[in-house]
Amino acid sequence: MKYTGHVDTFAEDRLPEPHLMPELRFALPELSYPERLNAASYLLDRHVASGNGGRRCVLAPGAAAWTYAELQAAANRIARVLVDDLGVEPGNRVLLRAPNTPMLAACWFGALKAGAVAVTTMPLYRATELRHIMERAQVKHALCDVRLRDDLDAACAQFGGVRTACFGGDELDALMRGKSDAFDAVETAAEDVALIAFTSGTTGEPKAAMHYHRDILATCDSYGRHVLRLRDDDLVCGSPPLAFTFGLGGLLLFPLAAGAATLLLEKAGPEHLLEAIGGHGATTVFTAPIAYRTMCASADRHDLRTLRTCVSAGETLPKAVWEGWREKTGVPILDGIGSTEMLHIFVGSPKEEVRAGSTGRAVAGYVAEVHGDDGKPVAPGTIGRLAVKGPTGCKYLQDERQALYVANGWNYPGDAYRMDDDGYFWYVARTDDMIVSAGYNVSGPEVEQALIAHADVREVAVVGKRDPEKETHIVKAFVVLADGCASDSAKADELREFCKSVIAPFKAPREIEFVHELPRTQTGKLQRYKLRER
């Protein structure tokens, strides 16, 4: 029987059926891991044991930096509270609720060290959303920032049976003071589930993606090592919450794997990011394309000399944004595509290999192809479905939608791409964002990239609108204009003609609707399905 360190095997018992599991590849020597593995020990304890416990590790504005030894001590005390006071057993799910703070990082490590499964939630989730997560993951324990306890208490009252402890002046802090700062991490298996991450809901009901302890290290040893290439003197900051796997990898896993430091920001809007770079000397930034576009306008007012690496993911990066940021800062943005299901970025190139407008090539350790509807590779330059295999893969928690994501061992993230002769991938659209209009296939994101290059356009989303008379679709654009611009028919005509000057006229939007904002998830992803519903 395969070894497991879990007493509660709820997560492992609800993995997909074998024929729906992704085929995992461990083609690089660094992707070979022992059978028994606790990711927290590698990311945290390893540095202290090697004599680097005094290095800075986690920072927050207005607070003293935590060293690796201090983060380890906090995580160990939390693990002891979970086991001794909350009764957590290995394999239990522990819900974490807080903004990006050092204490959230400590709670995440404490949960893993106790052998639990971390279920980190978005800080803006309300009681209904939290209850759904509790029900899906059968959560019985929770750690929460005291400022966010009201919705958690309401969710617990509805779901029932959840033992909670709040920090930030409440019971967890008092319990920690009475605990030893020594705790030996539970000897979990490499294939024990370490975290359950809920997708951000860009296409409807969120799905619960499970990842092993081994997966956590694999994303560090693939994207982190071969593309990001952090040094131990780097300081990372960014906007995505740690509940979003883009943020977990960028702001916690990658810096700690490299022995670097992370700056966790509770407020991480574009201006806050610019202030963090200038005020703290951050070298690396993780954020979404819309933030880079916004930061371009005020980059001149900040000292960005320490900045050397910028990473974008979450949605397609328009070429105009890439070029504008490069012109302002001299730093190229590393575009990439990742997913909650794959844990982090699996297509994206290092700085010296970046091509403007391209997502990049397959990350070392992964293989990526473009498939036709028959599941076979298509010729270079042909549009098809992106297909990926590597050391991580989609493992939904008991969800029939697994069959939509994984087929014949391949992961299909739901994106239409074309690959050139050099192996670079060029984004076309989400497969459900392809618009068939008057017999032509139109990529919504291609139209968006054309419109976003106009100086008066701040944000744009393009979808297909049903034309019942002709039983087809028309291209419709929802546009957020820059401040002071008139949202009238003349402006719509101007944008339409501008679009026709950039791409084929048949792709230009037939309708343009001006809106004050676009629907987005809490992680900044555009929710085009809500615009279609309108």
Shared domain for 322 and 468, answered yes or no, is: no
Instruction: Calculate the CA 199 to chain-centre distance.
Output: 9
Shared domain for 469 and 415, answered yes or no, is: no
Domain contains 294: yes
Separation of alpha carbons 49 and 36, rounded Å: 19
Write out the residue range of the structural domain in which residue 379 sits. 10-14+21-26+37-419
Count of other CB atoms within 10 angstroms of residue 227: 23
Separation of alpha carbons 116 and 185, rounded Å: 11
What sign has the CA pseudo-torsion 132, 137, 142, 145?
Answer: negative
Q: Which of 359, 390, 419 is the last residue before a domain boundary?
A: 419
Domain contains 324: yes
* 3-state SS assignment for residue 186: coil
* pLDDT for 434 beyond 90: no
What sign has the CA pseudo-torsion 460, 462, 466, 467?
Answer: positive
* pLDDT for 221 beyond 60: yes
Separation of alpha carbons 109 and 92, rounded Å: 15
Q: pLDDT-based confidence at 145, cuts 50/70/90?
A: very high
Instruction: Give alpha helix (H) positions in 90-142.
Output: 102-113, 127-137
Q: For tokens 């076309």, what's the residue?
A: 428
Domain contains 433: no
Separation of alpha carbons 93 and 110, rounded Å: 12
* Lowest mean pLDDT, pick from 198-202, 250-254, 428-432: 198-202
Q: pLDDT-based confidence at 217, cuts 50/70/90?
A: very high
Percent of the chain scored above 90 by pLDDT? 80
Q: pLDDT-based confidence at 315, cuts 50/70/90?
A: confident
Q: What CATH number is associated with residue 398?
A: 3.40.50.12780
**Residues 51-104: tens digit of each pLDDT:** 999 999 999 999 999 999 999 999 999 999 999 999 999 999 999 999 999 999
* 3-state SS assignment for residue 413: coil
* 3-state SS assignment for residue 430: strand
Shared domain for 452 and 412, answered yes or no, is: no
DSSP at 125: -
Give pLDDT, residue 469: 63
Shared domain for 513 and 364, answered yes or no, is: no
Give pLDDT, residue 177: 94
Asked whether the beta carbons of 464 and 476 are under 8 A apart, the reply is yes
Shared domain for 325 and 380, answered yes or no, is: yes
Instruction: Calculate the CA 319 to chain-centre distance.
Output: 21
Give pLDDT, residue 205: 75
Phi then psi dihedrals of residue 29, to 5 deg: -55, -35
Give pLDDT, residue 438: 61
**Which residues have a Cβ under 8 Å from the Cβ of 315 and sit 6 or more positions away?**
288, 289, 524, 525, 526
**Residues 170-207: tens digit of each pLDDT:** 799 999 998 999 999 999 999 999 999 998 655 557 89
Instruction: Calculate the CA 22 to chain-centre distance.
Output: 20
Domain contains 466: yes
* pLDDT for 372 beyond 60: yes
Nearest residue to 349 (alpha-carbon basis) of 453, 522, 228, 443: 228
Q: What CATH number is associated with residue 486?
A: 3.30.300.30
Domain contains 56: yes
Separation of alpha carbons 291 and 298, rounded Å: 11
373: left (phi over 0), alpha (psi -120 to 50) or beta: alpha
Both structure tokens of 224: 């982190």
Shared domain for 262 and 367, answered yes or no, is: yes
**Which residues have a Cβ under 8 Å from the Cβ of 343 and sit 6 or more positions away?**
197, 209, 211, 215, 216, 218, 219, 245, 249, 392
Shared domain for 464 and 527, answered yes or no, is: yes
Both structure tokens of 222: 């693939």
Domain contains 5: no
Shared domain for 169 and 233, answered yes or no, is: yes
Instruction: Give alpha helix (H) positions in 160-309.
Output: 171-177, 213-219, 245-248, 254-257, 270-280, 289-296
Give the DSSP H/E element, type plus range, for residue 373. none
* Lowest mean pLDDT, pick from 105-119, 137-151, 313-327: 313-327
Asked whether the beta carbons of 531 and 519 are under 8 A apart, the reply is yes
Give pLDDT, residue 454: 94
Nearest residue to 186 (alpha-carbon basis) of 44, 46, 5: 5
Q: Which of 419, 449, 483 is the last residue before a domain boundary?
A: 419
Q: What is the pTM of this model?
A: 0.86
**Which residues have a Cβ under 8 Å from the Cβ of 466 and sit 6 or more positions away?**
473
Give pLDDT, residue 471: 59
* Lowest mean pLDDT, pick from 163-167, 304-308, 464-468: 464-468
Give pLDDT, residue 385: 95
Give pLDDT, residue 440: 63
Domain contains 80: yes
CA angle 152, 238, 146 (to 5 degrees): 20
Nearest residue to 394 (alpha-carbon basis) of 205, 209, 151: 209
* 3-state SS assignment for residue 261: strand
Domain contains 122: yes
Shared domain for 394 and 459, answered yes or no, is: no
Shared domain for 497 and 403, answered yes or no, is: no
Separation of alpha carbons 11 and 93, rounded Å: 9
Shared domain for 249 and 373, answered yes or no, is: yes
What sign has the CA pseudo-torsion 122, 127, 132, 137?
Answer: positive
Asked whether the beta carbons of 464 and 444 are under 8 A apart, the reply is yes
**Which residues have a Cβ under 8 Å from the Cβ of 103 and sit 6 or more positions away?**
74, 145, 167, 168
Once rounded to an integer, what is the mean pLDDT over residues 300-308? Answer: 95
Give pLDDT, residue 458: 92
Q: pLDDT-based confidence at 468, cuts 50/70/90?
A: low
Shared domain for 345 and 448, answered yes or no, is: no
- For the chain, what is the mean pLDDT? 93
Q: How many domains does the chain have?
A: 2
